[in-house]
A and B are shown apart, each in its own frame.
Chain A
Amino acid sequence: MDLRGIGEWFESRLQLGSLYRTTAGHPIPRNSASWWYVFGSATLVCFVLQIVTGICLALVYVPSADEAWTSLEFLNYQQSLGWFLRAVHFWGSNVMVALMTVHMIQVFLMGAHKYPRELTWVIGCVLFIATIGMAFTGQVMRFDQDAYWGLGIGVAIMARIPIVGTALVDLILAGPIIGAETLSRFFTLHVFVVPGLIIAFVTVHLRLVLKRGINEFPVRGKGVVPEEYDEEYAALIEKEGIPFFPDGVDKDIVFSAAVIVAILFCAAIFGPAGPNGEPDPTLIDTVPRPDFYFLSLFAVLALLPPQIETFVLVYVMPVAILLLFLIPFIAGKGAKHPADRPIAVLGVVLICTTISTLAWLGISSPWSPHMDAWSGEPTPVAYVEERSPLELQGAVLIQARQCRNCHALGGRGGQRGPALDDVATRLTADQLTRQILQGGGNMPAYGKHLSPDETTALVAFLRTMRPIGVPGAR
């Protein structure tokens, strides 16, 4: 039997030729082989990379509350290239979330969610949520202080759901608090359940792409009319269709390769994330921050007035997610080209600006007091020189009574309250005294915590806080 004979023997059984014709070789519109259409495939490549690196990590990682942190430390410091593996998995996840978001925005802007691809969009939304779920459970795998408190916040959100909240928390945490079995549950979710769901839904997503065809590149002034679309699309494929593989795949390959190189590069240069401090709830001098995809949510939670937090979390957020699912049913036909859809473009710009602004606030978190500023941020020397003994005592008390945890001096310290560098130009001695004793605005009243001498000293010092040549408030 010659080589060709062997090939035919296998082909007659596996029938790969027809599989190729209906999958990788399916025809796509020539103009869809565009640089705009590379993000979905790159997201999938990231997912494969996550599976490969994830399997390698699972060989070492111990999903138990006692040993997880130690096993991460082992990977970082003892296992040869263990840190690199962690870094690739971490950057891979960041890039995957980012690419998926870009893919989603691009699909929306190109009108690809419209008839007949509504279900593709809906499945895509499911994948979006599942990927965010991977990101969240992955953050918990990195079982450090960020993970511990991030998880605490996550379940605190769940606990607010009426009626079933508490039961849900018990289910997720394996009890009312983060305990020994919590990590096992999250490991199961992160390694088996959610990836399984992603594989299943990616299969459906891809089948829909194959069956309903890939979106043609939108043309200005031309919209979707469901009654005519199928015939038009078939005619387009007939006229200028090219097989996805090998003719239409080149840009996807180039872009995906670039993404992999970028991930490896980031991993090598910036390294893995954490683990930071041990997840010990008795260590309170910690500033936990979520990974970037949750920074905006973190900011929303911090900035909302407490009385509407539950309303926003339990009602507004699910409605917003539902709206995302419903987009193709709300706007499923008509114009596709972004230039014909000003409101859609404006909506994307608005949402992106809002989320990035909130994320930026989440990074800088000006609402959090700097709990170690009082002992760790020296009083600026300029505020110490030329001061009387009483004023110096006031300067000591600004530190010792932890005023600086919320009020900055010389740009250092908390930003929750106003900086005190020029407070004497704004407040008189009487106003300062009243503000310190009675509080006001966001500031608590310190009258019960300060002796009259301490207040006198603080006011004496604060009255010196004005630029040279600028008179004090009168």
Chain B
Amino acid sequence: MRPGSGATTTLLLAAALALAACDWMPGRPREQDRPRNPREITDFATLYANNCAGCHGSEGELGPAREFASPLFQAFLPDPALRNVIREGVPGTGMPAFAKAAGGSLMDPQVEALVSGMRRRWARPSRVDASVLPPYSEADAVAAGYALGDPGRGREAFQRACAGCHGADGNGGEEGGSVVAAAFLGLVSDQMLRTVVVCGRPDLGMPDWREPPPELRLSVQEVSDVVSWLASHRPPDLEPARGASE
């Protein structure tokens, strides 16, 4: 070996290493930053953050709209209804249609990713006793042998179970606001009322149907009754916002 050739080799090696190191520089575009067509995103976290978090909260709770992070709600809401609400929205309410076909921006696989992602993230079947859960909609309840909601019975049930917070006539009390205000009832579907009576808003301090002491709890029949009493406060000329499953 000639003298000095060691130094040359070292230098060459160093240069090669430096060049190879360039591919490890922070400026190298990373695969995850690669721009994607928004229609091809099917990752739940991104889809949820871009489309749902605005109203439903970044963690599925503490948003002005429906809380998702409740295992009870996840058990209560069947897949077809969830899919349908995302796709078509709930006409007359703040929930818009998200499916491309319905004027929204999401493709079918994206809606499916939202449905399955919500289940993965928040459903905890082991923590909910599905056998005592009221049917999702009033129609389901009727099909299961319960009677249609009756406003008269509903008023009594409301005064027993709900008046503590919302006032005897529903106009609001110390803890809860009015649930019979005409504008409020004009903006929500009967199904939304039913869902909130059953699932509550635990994130905002409203208990679900199982939480109160036994003498204050609603029965499955009384859930339909309370909803029908609330709905009876809608001004007569007002068509109820159409519920997703109706």
Interface residues of A (CB under 8 A from B): 73, 76-77, 80-81, 83-84, 87, 144, 266-272, 274-278, 280, 283, 285, 372-379, 381, 383-385, 387-397, 399-401, 404, 451-454, 456-457, 460
B65 adjacent to chain A (CB < 8 Å): yes
Q: How many A-B pairs fall under 8 Å by CB?
A: 148
Tell whether, in the assembled complex, residue B183 and residue A456 are in contact, meaning their CB atoms are under 8 Å apart: yes
Q: A390-B178, A460-B183 are in contact. Are A268 and B54 (CB under 8 A)?
A: no
Given A84-B22, A457-B187, A381 and B62 contact (CB-CB distance below 8 Å): yes
Q: With contacts A83-B29, A87-B27 known, is A275 near B35, CB below 8 A?
A: yes
Whether the pair A399, B204 counts as a contact (CB closer than 8 A) is no
A394 to B55, CA, bound (A): 11
Q: Does B115 contact A (CB under 8 A)?
A: no
> A399 touches which one: B94, B105, B181 (CB < 8 A)?
B94
B28 near A271 with CB under 8 A, answer yes
| In contact, B37 and A80 (Cβ under 8 angstroms) | no
What's the nearest-Cβ distance from chain A to residue B106, in Å?
11
A400 to B37, CA, bound (A): 24
* Known interface pairs A372-B50, A451-B186; A277-B105 also in contact (CB < 8 Å): no
Beta-carbon contact of A267 and B35 below 8 Å: no
CB within 8 A of A378: which of B57, B95, B181? B57
Q: Among B29, B55, B188, point to the contact of A77 (Cβ < 8 A).
A: B29
> Is the pair A379, B184 in contact by a Cβ cutoff of 8 Å?
no
Given A271-B25, A271-B28, A377-B53: 10 more A-B contacts, CB < 8 Å: A267-B27, A375-B52, A378-B57, A379-B64, A388-B177, A389-B184, A393-B188, A396-B65, A453-B186, A460-B183
Complex interface: chain B residues within 8 A of A372 (CB): 50
**Cβ contact within 8 Å between A396 and B23:** no
Complex CA gap A388/B201 in Å reads 12
A–B Cβ pairs within 8 angstroms, 24 of them: A84-B23, A268-B22, A268-B26, A269-B27, A274-B35, A276-B35, A280-B37, A375-B52, A378-B54, A379-B57, A381-B62, A384-B64, A387-B177, A389-B179, A389-B181, A390-B181, A391-B177, A393-B64, A394-B64, A401-B94, A404-B54, A451-B186, A453-B186, A454-B187
CA distance A125 to B13 in the complex (A): 46
Which residues of chain B are near A270, meaning CB under 8 Å?
Answer: 26-27
Q: Determine the residue in chain B with the shortest Cβ distance to A73.
A: B34
> Which of B19, B38, B53, B184 touches A393 (beta carbons < 8 Å)?
B184
B234 CB to closest chain A CB (Å) equals 10
Chain B residues in 8 Å Cβ range of A266: 27
Q: A278-B37, A389-B184 are in contact. Are A378 and B29 (CB under 8 A)?
A: no
Is the CB–CB distance between A277 and B37 below 8 Å?
A: yes
Residues in chain B near residue A383, CB distance under 8 A: 64
Q: How far is B108's CA from A97's CA once the two chains are assembled, in angstroms?
A: 47
User: From residue A375, how far is it (CB to closest CB) to chain B in Å?
Assistant: 4
How far apart are the CA atoms of A280 and B38 in the complex, in Å?
Answer: 11
Residue from the list A267, A376, A389, A404 in contact with B177, Cβ < 8 A:
A389
Chain A, Cβ-Cβ closest to B185 = A453
Contact residues in B for A394 (Cβ distance below 8 Å): 64
B50 proximity list for chain A (CB < 8 A): 372, 375-376
Q: Please list the 3 inter-chain residue pairs (A to B) with the smallest Cβ-Cβ separation, ordered nearest first.
A: A388-B177, A271-B27, A395-B64
Q: Which residues of A contact B29 (CB under 8 A)?
A: 76-77, 83, 271-272
Determine the chain B residues whose CB is within 8 A of the CB of A83 once the complex forms.
27-29
Partner of B183 from A275, A276, A390 at Cβ < 8 Å: A390
Nearest chain A CB to B235 CB, angstrom units: 10
Residue of A nearest to B58 (CB): A378
Asked if B243 is an interface residue, CB under 8 A from chain A, the answer is: no
Residues 85-141 (chain B) with a chain A CB within 8 angstroms: 94-96, 105
Q: How many whole Å from A77's CB to the nearest CB in chain B?
A: 7
Contact A387 B64 (CB under 8 A): yes
Give A460 to B58 CA distance when docked, in angstroms. Answer: 24
- Assembly CA distance A77 to B31 (angstroms): 7
List of A residues within 8 angstroms of B54 by Cβ: 373-379, 399, 404
- Cβ–Cβ contact B55 & A396, under 8 A: yes
